[in-house]
Amino acid sequence: MAGALNGRRVAILATDGVERVELEQPREALDRESAETTLLSMNDGQIAARNNDLEDAGTFPVDRRVGDATPDEFDALLLPGGTVNPDKLRMDPTAVAFVRDFVDSGKPVAAICHGPWTLAEADRVRGRRLTSCPHEKAEIEGHAFGPRPRRRLQRRHHRHRHHPPRPRSQAPGH
Catalytic residues: 113
| Residues pairing with 79 in the sheet | 111
Handedness of CA 15, 18, 24, 25 (dihedral sign): negative
d(CA 61, CA 72): 23
